[in-house]
């Protein structure tokens, strides 16, 4: 059980690194938009790109878990492993595929990781929307004029 927890912690850590790097890479794009006068379609385009980028990050994290399950023969093939991982990470949990008993703890940790990463993504979006609506871009204009 300790070994499973260490493996799960390692996989979770990889997801945190992917997410941290990905969010950090998105920040300059957000700040560049914040310096421009607010226009409806500019924000729509920004949020569309951010949503696509964040979903890409989540998919990378799902692939990490799926590849591990295939490597450990916990799933019969890559498509099954990716499907299982996506259903687990998103906490959908259909139950049509299950891990072997020795790896079941990892399924629960993957679900917790997915909740955490989705919450982080939601917080990121909220921070951007809040900044736009709170100061209407005025803070960004002040920063630009300094």
Map out the domains of the chain as residue ranges.
Answer: 2-21+41-145
Q: What is the pLDDT of residue 144?
A: 43
Q: What is the pLDDT of residue 32?
A: 55
**2-21+41-145: CATH topology:** Helix Hairpins (1.10.287)
Q: What is the pLDDT of residue 33?
A: 53
Q: Which residues contact 56 (CB under 8 A, 6 or more apart)?
A: 22
Q: Which residues contact 5 (CB under 8 A, 6 or more apart)?
A: 105, 109
Q: What is the pLDDT of residue 35?
A: 46
Angle at 5 (CA atoms; ends 61, 59), nearest 5 degrees: 5
Q: What is the pLDDT of residue 56?
A: 97
pLDDT tens for each residue of the chain, 146 residues long: 888 899 999 999 999 999 999 999 887 766 655 544 556 677 778 888 889 999 999 999 999 999 999 999 999 999 999 999 999 999 998 989 999 998 999 999 999 999 999 999 999 988 887 777 665 555 544 444 44
Q: Do 64 and 58 touch, CB atoms closer than 8 A?
A: no
121's enclosing H/E stretch is: helix 104-135
For the record, the structure tokens of 58 come out as 């989540």
Q: What is the pLDDT of residue 40?
A: 67
As a whole number of angstroms, the distance between CA 127 and CA 2 comes to: 37
């Amino acid at each position: 059980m300790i070994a499973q927890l260490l493996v799960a912690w390692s996989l979770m850590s990889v997801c945190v690194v992917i997410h941290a790097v990905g969010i950090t890479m998105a920040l300059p794009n957000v700040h560049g938009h914040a310096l421009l006068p607010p226009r409806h379609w500019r924000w729509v385009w920004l949020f569309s790109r951010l949503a696509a980028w964040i979903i890409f990050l989540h998919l990378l994290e799902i692939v990490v878990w799926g590849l591990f399950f295939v490597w450990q023969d916990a799933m019969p093939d890559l498509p099954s492993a990716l499907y299982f991982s996506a259903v687990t990470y998103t906490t959908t949990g259909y139950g049509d595929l299950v891990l072997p008993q020795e790896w079941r703890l990892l399924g629960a940790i993957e679900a917790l990781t997915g909740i955490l990463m989705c919450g982080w993504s939601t917080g990121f979006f909220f921070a951007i929307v809040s900044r736009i609506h709170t100061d209407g871009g005025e803070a960004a204009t002040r920063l630009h004029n300094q």
